[in-house]
Amino acid sequence: MKKYLLILFLAIFSVGLSAQTFTEILGRPTNNSITINVLFSAQVDVYFEYGTVKGNYPNSTSVVTSALNEPVVAVMSGLLPETRYYYRTRYRATGTGTFLASSEHTFITQRKPGSKFVFTVEADPHPYDPKGYHPLWDICLQNQLNDGADFMLDLGDTFGDDHLVTSGNPYTTTQIQQLMLDNRPHFGLVCHSLPFFFCEGNHEGESGYYLLQTPPNNIAVYETLWRKKYYSNPEPDGFYSGNNTVEDFGMGKPENYYAFQWGDALFVVIDAWRYYTANNKPRNWDWTIGKTQYDWLKQTLETSTAKYKFVFCHHVMGETRGGVLIAKTFEWGGLDNGTNKFAANRPGWAMPIHQLMVTNHVNMYFQGHDHVYARESLDSLVYQTVPMPSDSSYSLGYIANGAAFTGTVLKGAGHIRVTVSTDSLKVDYVSARLPKDETPTSKNGDIFYSYGVKSSKISALNDVSMSNFPTWMVYPNPANELINFTFNQPLESNFEIRIINLEGKLIRTIDKSYLSDSKNILNVHLNDGNGAILKSGIYIAELIENGQNVSYQKIAVQ
Give the span between the Cα atoms of 130 and 136, in whole angstroms.
Answer: 12
Digit-coded pLDDT (tens) for 81-134: 999 999 999 999 998 889 999 999 999 999 999 999 999 999 999 999 888 999
Question: What is the per-residue pLDDT for 223?
Answer: 96
Give the span between the Cα atoms of 287 and 284, in whole angstroms.
Answer: 6
Closest alpha carbon to 318 in 272, 258, 268: 272
> In which band, very low, low, confident or very high, does the pLDDT at 471 lie, cut at 50, 70 and 90?
low
Secondary element (H or E) of residue 5 = helix 2-18
Question: Are 31 and 107 in contact, with CB atoms under 8 Å apart?
Answer: no
Digit-coded pLDDT (tens) for 394-423: 998 998 898 899 888 999 999 999 999 998
> In which band, very low, low, confident or very high, does the pLDDT at 6 lie, cut at 50, 70 and 90?
very low
Question: What is the per-residue pLDDT for 457?
Answer: 39
Q: Which residues of 428-460 are buried (b: 16+ CB within 10 A; e: fewer)?
A: bbbbbbeeeeeeeebebbbebbbbbbebeeebe
Question: What is the per-residue pLDDT for 455?
Answer: 55
CA torsion sign for 363, 369, 374, 378 is negative
Amino acid identity at 308 = Y
Does the pLDDT of residue 230 top 90, yes or no? yes
Residues in a beta bridge with 294: none
Order of strands, sheet of 22-27, starting from the edge strand that comes earlier in the sequence: 22-27, 33-40, 72-77
Order of strands, sheet of 373-378, starting from the edge strand that comes earlier in the sequence: 241-242, 258-262, 265-269, 308-312, 364-367, 381-385, 373-378, 408-410
Secondary element (H or E) of residue 293 = helix 291-303
> In which band, very low, low, confident or very high, does the pLDDT at 535 lie, cut at 50, 70 and 90?
confident
Digit-coded pLDDT (tens) for 329-381: 999 999 999 999 999 999 999 999 999 999 999 999 999 999 999 999 999 89
Question: What is the per-residue pLDDT for 165?
Answer: 82
Helix then strand then coil, in percent of the chain rounded to 5, is 20, 35, 45
In this prediction, what percent of the chain has a pLDDT beyond 70?
89
- For 299-357, the DSSP string reads HHHHH---SEEEEE-S-TTTT-S-SHHHHTBHHHH-EETTEE-HHHHSTT--S-HHHHH
For the residues 291-315, what does the mean pLDDT come to?
Answer: 98
> In which band, very low, low, confident or very high, does the pLDDT at 14 lie, cut at 50, 70 and 90?
very low
Q: Output the furthest CA–CA distance in the chain (Å, rounded).
A: 95
Secondary element (H or E) of residue 489 = none
**All structural domains of the chain:** 2-108 (2.60.40.10), 117-419 (3.60.21.70), 472-557 (2.60.40.1220)
SS (H, E, C) 370-408: CCCEEEEEECCEEEEECCCCCCCCCCHHHHHHHHHCCCE
Question: What is the per-residue pLDDT for 347?
Answer: 97
Identify the DSSP state of 436: G
Does the pLDDT of residue 549 top 60, yes or no? no
> In which band, very low, low, confident or very high, does the pLDDT at 441 lie, cut at 50, 70 and 90?
confident
The verdict on pTM exceeding 0.95 is no
- Cα dihedral 131/136/139/141 (nearest 10): 10
Burial of 278 (0-12, 13-18, 19+ CB in 10 A): middle
